[in-house]
Amino acid sequence: MIKLITAGVLLAMALTTAACRVPEKKVPDAVALEQKDSSDTLTDETSPITGIWETASMGYEEDGTMYPEYHVEFTDSDICYGHMRDGVFTPDHSDRISSIEEIRDGGYRIQAESANGVQYTYQTSEDDENVLEYYETWEEEEFPQMYRGGASLGRIAESIKD
């Protein structure tokens, strides 16, 4: 029974990483947000949502060092959540994108669904195109009640170099 559970967990991890199609890549220590070379993204799939993002919510290492709960990369079909350690992005899991809509020049609304059925929206902040605000709903009229600041994202790098 333990072997079966272990095999299931390993299969789920492999499928999640394959769905992301995001290989581990080294991220430079400092990447200017002004870089706009889309050929340097982590994946071969294109998305209008470029760069590496991180959640506003933080976790702690055993030594007390703070780190973002997740780092995030967008493809044209998935939102890939992972972790950065020593400048390397390693995928953890992904959620399927249902739609990407340009709501204004440089502003997007991305609707996705998690593996456990939670429908959510990321929307570019009106004040800063490097911030994606998180709403745990697809319904715009519910946004004020469903805003989750800790799950919102900030762009930390426009692109990734090998």
Whether residue 55 lies inside any domain: the answer is yes
Taking 80 as the threshold, does the pLDDT of residue 44 lie above it? Answer: no
pTM for the whole thing? 0.72
Question: What pLDDT digit, counting tens, does each position of 76-99 carry?
Answer: 999 999 998 888 889 999 999 999
Comparing 48 with 127, the larger pLDDT belongs to 127
Paired tokens of 131: 């911030």
Find tokens 């609304």 and name the residue.
Answer: 109
The residue type of 8 is G
Q: Does 127 reside within a domain?
A: yes
In a domain, 96, yes or no: yes
More confident: 146 or 106:
146
146 in a structural domain: yes
What's the domain count of the chain? 1
Model pLDDT for residues 99-121, shown as the tens digit of each residue: 999 999 989 999 999 999 999 99
CB 16 within 8 A of CB 91: yes
162 belongs to a structural domain:
no
Structural domain of residue 140, as residue ranges? 2-157
